[in-house]
Structure 1
């Protein structure tokens, strides 16, 4: 225990309490800056959406794939055919309070050996996990249109190890895993099918799930908590002088 004085106040610093407080403050400050960075990322996505909207719809071609990686939210169109059996079900997707799956099919890309992963939308899950939703994919060539989407790198405690039985169920649509499991060369992005497509399932594609302003508000809260933790620690460590009672007994 270390004791020192500042004016009329004495401070007793417990090394363990000091260490815990400093670690907590460091963690809260780190979380605050993380929220700031997430807010900046969401703002960039919204800006990209505005930019892509001004460009309009582009034809999807093999030689443009790498450029489109730099232009998420860009709307593209092409004629392709969906693979009838090989598709993915992304688990634990919520729509209006109900649990379900997002269906990702594989569409051919003209004049290319690649397939395009296309998110066709949301389907409800059955009460029993062993019962898969009924998914019927069109067999004829289709005029496809949607916007480029690059899934965020998920935080997983362990790597996904799905069973290779079609349709394959996944927790997250990792592009590397989609390529590995399908055995096909895939585009370096997913296309989310347009809302006005005549086929597909329930589609509700928000530009961002959480707006930048909310991330900035959370950052302010974390910084405020860090400051409050420091104030509480200093207050708890302060030993004020006791007032002497000179009154005669």
Structure 2
């Protein structure tokens, strides 16, 4: 490469190390995207999977599977939690969660009843009355939705009246508020045409869905390319100006 100046060894080392690091980070982001795509496929397939008994998977659910289960028990009808302002098709509203005590167990299972759209006012939608007798539920046994940092700490403990409202569903806060132990996952009920609730569930990856991982991968690969380009530009030989031939 006659157009390049001979670089110092530390320039070469720095460029190679930086480019390799950026490429490695980009590949890692692609692997994370593929992993989450796989989880989404498993989740989609679980919606039509055969029902399992809740007791068989309740305590130790498979880490990368979403069992579709059936459970019998009773709602704690006077303990309703409202996740404020989630989005479905651009509509604001509430996601309704209710503790449920499976028959023969003391531990509580948090049930996601579904989404109630807003009514165009500042008033929250009215939650229909819950059955007080023995009920049979079926749905996906899945991880709770992710949550961020809630300013002001635990908002549930400061509320004296039910239903209680929160902007994040923190399982530890809910368990502390109820004074009971919760199962590690929640039950998202199957869709029901007769229900008032909208039940269109998906996995919640928070701010890092697969597409975001791929966007970050593209950025890291761009940084690797930029490191090489900068190295070449800084070590390019400067063209010497052509000497003018003397006039006769």
- Give the TM-score of the pair, scaled to structure 2: 0.74
The whole-number CA distance in structure 1 between the counterparts of 2:37 and 2:153 is 26
User: Once the 2 structures are TM-superposed, how far is the Cα of residue 25 of structure 1 from its aligned partner?
Assistant: 8.4
- Distance across 2 between alignment mates of 1:123 and 1:117: 17
Shift in Å, 1:127: 6.0
| Deviation, structure 1 residue 241 | 2.0
Q: Are 2:177 and 1:185 aligned?
A: no
Shift of 1:225: 1.2
Deviation at 1:42, TM superposition (A): 3.6
The answer to whether 1:138 aligns with 2:130 is yes
Structure 1 residue 44, shift from structure 2 partner: 3.9
- 2:69 counterpart of 1:76: yes
Would you say the 8 A contact 2:19–2:228 is kept in 1? no
Distance verdict in 2 for CA 1:247–1:231, change over 3 Å: same
Q: How many Å apart are 1:37 and its aligned residue?
A: 2.0
Distance change >3 Å, CA 29–CA 159, structure 1 → 2: farther
Q: Does residue 1:245 correspond to 2:242, yes or no? A: yes
1:60 aligned to which of 54, 65, 80: 54
Match of 2:141 among 142, 148, 169: 148
Q: Could you tell me how far apart the structure 2 residues matched to 1:153 and 1:108 are?
A: 23
Map 1:150-169; keep pairs closer than 5 Å: 150-151=143-144, 153-156=146-149, 160-164=153-157, 165=159, 166-169=162-165
Pair 1:39-2:20 in alignment:
no
Instruction: Report the Cα distance in structure 2 between the residues aligned to 1:132 and 1:48, rounded to whole angstroms.
Output: 30
Structure 1, residues 90-149: CA drift from partner, whole Å, max 9, x if none?
2341111122221111112101112211101112246676x3331123133322111111
Structure 1: gaps spanning 5 or more residues: 1-5
Corresponding residue pairs, total: 237
The structural deviation recorded for 1:71 is 6.5
Q: Give the structure with the larger strand fraction.
A: 1
SS of the equivalent of 1:201 reads coil
Question: Taking structure 1 as reference, are residues 73 and 162 closer, same or farther at Cα in structure 2, changes over 3 Å only?
Answer: same
Contact conserved, 1:25 with 1:230, CA < 8 A, in 2? no
- Structure 2 unaligned runs (5+)? none
SS at match of 2:60: helix
SS in 2 for 1:177: helix
CA contact (8 A) 1:71 1:148 kept: no
CA deviations 1:49-93 (Å, max 9, x no partner) are 647855x102223x6422335474211112222222212222341
